[in-house]
């Protein structure tokens, strides 16, 4: 019995398992390992400058001749620049920024974190998420004619025609039925329904409830389930809820190929199902992160973080310093609620093969529940 759904043909893959585009973590080595294993590796390119993205694509092509994808963010709030608007007290986020940076500096002093030297980047996240960055990334996606593009936030509608002309298959990650309807109207090929259990930016709605509702709204477009799907049982459940496959992030973080620090991989292995929290303290949008001194500092202070992209100017120095100092208590990273299932750091191919075998076993055993009826 082989795990196979119609999405395999659509994407040119062997098993309906897609590596989630996890910003920074889903590097060429990890994406290629998943593609070479028969799934679809998706690069987490959200913070890449255009030249860096071009280089990642070339590296991935050197590591695999199988299809792969590129994931970036297209949040409407940043594209329309509504985040520049003032709050009820008449202050814009830009005016509030210095006070928030003081908060971060005090936190760093308290934690003994040293300000890192500025990183040399080609207009990537060090310049902040911006309309210009998102548009420059899309130009590379189109020029490179990548096999698959995934928008992690927002609607890829304005770029659909050019991607379609290249033969690029387009996916869109959604967290609500109304967002699913919007991307259906834009003509995407695949929808990813990402629930509250997921690592990173996610939805207020749990995966179990969101997935079938997105499937119903998808007008026959295939849907991948996402959020908390960490082993084969989760994949089988997603298929039972009407999905055509799974978009999986956290399960691939504790792998040799994932581009996160060893202390972050260890934080995942050590965590339980209660180890994560939803916080705006990292990017300004609600995201699931492993509980840390930084996420707790905002809760304790009772301060609402700034909107995206300003909060990244506040959090980046802290996270960079914590990374440089191997501080898992400050910067353990984004992860989903399934991390309690992750017990060791392994090769990505092994994780993928185990997920596939687990899904086949769970689906094969499903008929048991009908005995005696
Ligand atoms: C470390 C990390 C980084 C992430 N970065 C992004 C990102 O840049 N773009 C995006 O679309 N989703 C991002 N996500 C969300 C994933 O694409 C995916 O939806 C999520 O990991 C699925 O839930 P799971 O972690 O429970 O498998 C990230 C998730 C994690 C854990």
φ and ψ at 125, to 5 degrees?
A: -65, -20
- The span from the CA of 186 to the CA of 173, in Å, is 13
CB neighbour list of residue 360: distance below 8 Å, 6 or more residues apart:
1, 2, 3, 232
Q: Determine if ligand 1 sits within 6 Å of the CB of residue 332.
A: no
Whether 75 lines ligand 1, by a CB cut-off of 6 Å, is no
CA of 354 to the centre of ligand 1 (A): 20
For residue range 81-126, what is the model confidence (pLDDT) as tens digits?
666 777 777 889 999 999 999 999 999 999 999 987 766 554 445 5
**pLDDT, tens digit (0-9, with 9 covering 90-100), for 174-184:** 999 999 999 99
Place 352 in a pLDDT band, splitting at 50, 70 and 90: very high
d(CA 360, CA 373): 23
Please give the distance, rounded to the nearest whole angstrom, from the Cα atom of residue 174 to the centre of ligand 1. 12
Q: Where does the pLDDT of residue 127 fall: very low under 50, low under 70, confident under 90, or very high at 90 and above?
A: low
> Is residue 289 within 6 Å of ligand 1 at its C-beta?
no
Pair 51, 15: CB distance under 8 Å: no
| Ligand 1 contacts CB of residue 231 (under 6 A) | no
Please tell me if the CB atom of residue 200 comes closer than 6 angstroms to any atom of ligand 1.
yes
Report CA Rg, the chain: 20
Which CATH fold would you assign to the domain 6-106+128-272+341-361? TIM Barrel (3.20.20)
Q: What is the pLDDT of residues 230-269, one digit of tens each?
A: 999 999 999 999 999 999 999 999 999 999 999 999 999 9
> Residue 46 is inside which H or E element, if any?
none
- Atom from ligand 1 closest to the CA of residue 228: 26
Cα 61 to middle of ligand 1, angstroms: 22
Q: Give tens-digit pLDDT for 137-150.
A: 999 999 999 999 99
pTM of the model: 0.94
* pLDDT score of 78 more than 70: no
CA 140, 143, 149 angle in degrees (round to 5)? 65
Percentage of the residues of the chain whose pLDDT score is greater than 90: 87
Ligand 1: centre distance to CA 148 (Å) = 17
CA 258 to chain centre: 13
Task: Count Cβ atoms below 10 Å from residue 80 Cβ, excluding itself.
Answer: 10
249, 226 in Cβ contact below 8 A?
A: yes
Q: What is the pLDDT of residue 123?
A: 47
Per residue in 26-58, pLDDT tens? 999 999 999 999 999 999 999 999 999 999 999
What tokens does 153 get? 């936030």
Would the pLDDT of 193 be above 80?
yes
Q: Can you give the pLDDT at residue 75? A: 75
Residue 281 in 3-state DSSP?
Answer: coil
Probe ligand 1: pick from 23, 125, 173, 194, max atoms within 8 Å of CB? Answer: 23
- Average pLDDT of 56-78? 93
Q: Which of the two residues, 141 and 77, has the higher pLDDT score?
A: 141
pLDDT band at 321 (very low <50, low <70, confident <90, very high): very high
Q: Which of 280, 310, 322, 319 is nearest to 128 (CA)?
A: 310
Mean pLDDT confidence for 261-290 = 97
pLDDT, the chain, mean: 94
Inform me whether the pLDDT recorded for 80 exceeds 90. Answer: no
* pLDDT for the residue numbered 371: 76
Q: Return d(Cα 169, Cα 147) in angstroms, integer.
A: 6
373 pLDDT band (50/70/90 cuts)?
low
Residue spans of the domains in the chain: they are 6-106+128-272+341-361
Percent of the chain beyond pLDDT 70?
94
């Amino acid at each position: 019995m082989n795990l196979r759904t119609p999405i395999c043909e659509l994407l040119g893959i062997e098993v309906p398992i897609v590596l989630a585009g996890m910003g920074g973590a889903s590097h060429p080595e990890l994406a290629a390992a998943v593609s070479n294993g028969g799934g679809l590796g998706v690069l987490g390119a959200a913070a890449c400058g255009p030249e860096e993205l071009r280089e990642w694509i070339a590296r991935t092509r050197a590591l695999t001749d199988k299809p792969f994808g590129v994931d970036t963010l297209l949040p409407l709030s940043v594209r329309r620049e509504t985040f520049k608007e003032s709050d009820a007290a008449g202050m814009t986020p830009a005016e509030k920024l210095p006070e928030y940076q003081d908060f971060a500096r005090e936190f760093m002093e308290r934690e003994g974190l040293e300000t890192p030297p500025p990183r040399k980047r080609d207009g990537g996240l060090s310049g902040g998420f911006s309309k210009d960055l998102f548009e420059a990334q899309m130009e590379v996606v189109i020029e490179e004619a990548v096999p698959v593009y995934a928008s992690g936030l927002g609607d890829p509608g304005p770029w659909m025609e050019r991607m379609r002309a290249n033969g690029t298959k387009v996916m869109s990650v959604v967290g609500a039925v109304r967002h699913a309807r919007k991307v259906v109207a834009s003509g995407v090929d695949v929808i990813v329904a990402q629930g509250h259990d997921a690592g990173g930016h996610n939805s207020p709605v749990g995966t179990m409830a969101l997935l079938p509702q997105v499937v119903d709204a998808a007008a026959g477009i295939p849907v991948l389930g996402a959020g908390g799907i960490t082993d084969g049982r989760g994949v089988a459940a997603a298929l039972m809820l009407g999905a055509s496959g799974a978009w999986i992030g956290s399960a691939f973080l504790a792998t040799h190929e994932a581009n996160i620090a060893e202390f972050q991989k260890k934080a995942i292995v050590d965590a339980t199902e209660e180890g994560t929290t939803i916080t705006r303290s990292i990017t300004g949008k609600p995201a699931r992160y492993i509980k840390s001194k930084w996420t707790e500092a905002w809760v304790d202070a009772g301060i609402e973080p700034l909107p995206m992209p300003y909060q990244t100017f506040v959090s980046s120095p802290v996270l960079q310093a914590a990374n440089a100092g191997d501080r898992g208590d400050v910067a353990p990273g984004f992860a989903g609620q399934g991390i309690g299932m992750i017990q060791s750091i392994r090769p990505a191919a092994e994780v993928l093969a185990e997920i596939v075998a687990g899904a086949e076993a769970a689906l094969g055993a499903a008929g048991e529940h009908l005995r005696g009826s």
